[in-house]
Structure 1
Amino acid sequence: MMVALVIGITSGALVLGAWIGVRGWLSERAEGLLVAGAGGALIVSVMMELIEPALDVIGLPGTAGIVLLGAALFSAADAWTDRHMARAGGLGLLLAVTFDGVPENLALGTALIGTGPLGVAALAGSILLSNLPEAAGGAASMREDGESGTRIILLWTAVAALLSISALAGRWFLADVPDGTVEAITCFSAGAVLASLSTEVFPKAGRQDPHLAGIAVALGLVVALSLEQLG
């Protein structure tokens, strides 16, 4: 039940965000602040739920190496997106969300293996807060490019379905793998998520509200840290 609820909420945020973007209900400033807060929350969740548990299993050198590998591969994919989708507007953002969301949701699925409810809530909540404004901004851009509202919703729904499959794969197919495998995968996902924060999330938040973005990041971090301590 928890698996279906968490995955439904985080992936459903993409569809809800796309709908909000098509309607034009989210201002750029509000979008930037939400993204910044989500980024701050993700820093805590990634470190405490994905990276720290791996230290006791695969050690510091292995953990560091796999995190860096995940960051490097995401950055390479992001660079390819920038080169080949530079004029794609909302479609480019949709692709970027897909690159970002697959490792995030794989990490979410693996986090559901043996993690307490509050720990899962911290990670899922930060992903939700990131997905909603990203989808809203991408959908709004696609609308400005002349895409129909129906096509926009269908495209983002397809992405949400893909991300749900990624989370289910992380939860069900990695439950019985040997010790260290899940930790290695979560570290790889953590690296990709951290790279996405530096290339997609924080620069965007800074552009849309350069004065309050730092406060929003700190607020998101404090909220996620508070959830972790309650757990």
Structure 2
Amino acid sequence: MTYLVIAVVSGALILGAVWGIYGNLQKKTEGFLVALAGGALIVSTVLELINPAVEKANVLIALGIVLLGAGVFTALDYLVKQQWGSDSGGGLLAAITLDGIPENLALGVALIGADALTVAALSGSIFLSNLPEAAGGAKEMTENGASKKKILWLWSATAFILSLAALIGNWALADVSEEILAYIRCFAGGAVVASLAIEVFPKAYKQDSYWAGIATALGLVLAFYLNSLG
């Protein structure tokens, strides 16, 4: 199941890139999907990453590491934007990579001894997030004159890097103590929260206006319901 989940989640980047390069992706549709994924990620981040971690580690240290994860992502995202620009496809590609490494590392950790529904909730949320973001980024890169072959190669390489992060999380950390795993989850959770605030929700509102609020709530409800089944 581990390899299947990692392939599905990282494959969303390649599918999204193909969609953005060759398909017809409307801005409103992209915004709605991004908001939907953001709502789902709120639930997955709190219930699958932060809350279980707080229960198994020192609360103050765990919450401090959540803030650290958010701070590291914010700083790196700022540097990326300074280098590539806030609206460029290359900037989005770099931001997804920076966000995705701790996110997929946490996914690999979550696969250790997790039940099927827990894994489905987290991996499904990441899949929904990766697909429209990759589509939008690839489309912007195409519009900026980059070759389709190069764009597809870049997003495929990103998918490989994120898959590797998930495998490392699953293999290398299998024997690590629960407390250390808890802190890793908290760091990843903080990075995801920061990415939602900086990348996901502003983009969703910009593209789909007030419907982004409905889509976010819908994503939250769906993810919460899926989680409740476990």
Give the equivalent residue in structure 2 for 1:228: 227
TM-align CA RMSD: 1.1
Structure 1: which amino acid aligns with 2:28? R
Contact 1:71 1:191 in 2 (8 A): yes
Structure 2 residue 61 is the aligned partner of structure 1 residue 62: yes
For residues 91-143 of structure 1, the C-alpha deviation after alignment (integer angstroms, 9 at most, x for no partner) is 11111111111111111111101221111111101100110111101110111
Secondary structure (helix, strand or coil) at the match of 1:77 reads: helix
Structure 1: which amino acid aligns with 2:113? G
State the alpha-carbon separation in 2 of the partners of residues 173 and 154 from structure 1.
Answer: 28
Contact 1:32 1:208 in 2 (8 A): yes
Identity rate, percent: 56
State the alpha-carbon separation in 2 of the partners of residues 10 and 80 from structure 1.
Answer: 26
Give the equivalent residue in structure 1 for 2:5: 6
Structure 2 residue 42 is the aligned partner of structure 1 residue 43: yes
Contact 1:94 1:138 in 2 (8 A): yes
State the alpha-carbon separation in 2 of the partners of residues 220 and 56 from structure 1.
Answer: 25
Q: Tell me the CA shift for residue 88 of structure 1.
A: 7.5
Structure 1: which amino acid aligns with 2:39? G
Contact 1:24 1:140 in 2 (8 A): no
Give the equivalent residue in structure 2 for 1:219: 218
Gaps of 5+ in 1: none
User: Which of 56-65 and 209-218 deviates more?
Assistant: 56-65
Gaps of 5+ in 2: none
Structure 2 residue 127 is the aligned partner of structure 1 residue 128: yes
Q: Against the structure 1 CA distance between its residues 37 and 87, is the aligned structure 2 distance closer, same or farther, given a 3 Å change threshold?
A: closer
State the alpha-carbon separation in 1 of the partners of residues 219 and 86 from structure 2.
Answer: 32
For residues 41-95 of structure 1, the C-alpha deviation after alignment (integer angstroms, 9 at most, x for no partner) is 0010011111111122213211110100000000000111111111772111111
State the alpha-carbon separation in 1 of the partners of residues 130 and 204 from structure 2.
Answer: 14
Q: How does 1:177-216 map to 2 (within 5 A)?
A: 177-216=176-215
Q: How does 1:71-220 map to 2 (within 5 A)?
A: 71-86=70-85, 89-220=88-219
The number of residue pairs the alignment matches comes to: 230
The alignment's TM-score, normalised by the length of structure 1, stands at: 0.97
State the alpha-carbon separation in 2 of the partners of residues 112 and 144 from structure 1.
Answer: 38
User: Which of 38-47 and 82-91 deviates more?
Assistant: 82-91
Contact 2:54 2:63 in 1 (8 A): no
State the alpha-carbon separation in 2 of the partners of residues 88 and 133 from structure 1.
Answer: 15
Secondary structure (helix, strand or coil) at the match of 1:4 reads: helix
Q: Against the structure 1 CA distance between its residues 34 and 87, is the aligned structure 2 distance closer, same or farther, given a 3 Å change threshold?
A: closer
State the alpha-carbon separation in 2 of the partners of residues 179 and 143 from structure 1.
Answer: 44
State the alpha-carbon separation in 1 of the partners of residues 107 and 83 from structure 2.
Answer: 29
For residues 148-205 of structure 1, the C-alpha deviation after alignment (integer angstroms, 9 at most, x for no partner) is 1111111100000000000001111111012311111010000001000000000000
Structure 2: which amino acid aligns with 1:182? L
State the alpha-carbon separation in 2 of the partners of residues 154 and 116 from structure 1.
Answer: 34
The alignment's TM-score, normalised by the length of structure 2, stands at: 0.97
State the alpha-carbon separation in 2 of the partners of residues 57 and 211 from structure 1.
Answer: 39
Contact 1:33 1:213 in 2 (8 A): yes
State the alpha-carbon separation in 2 of the partners of residues 60 and 182 from structure 1.
Answer: 14
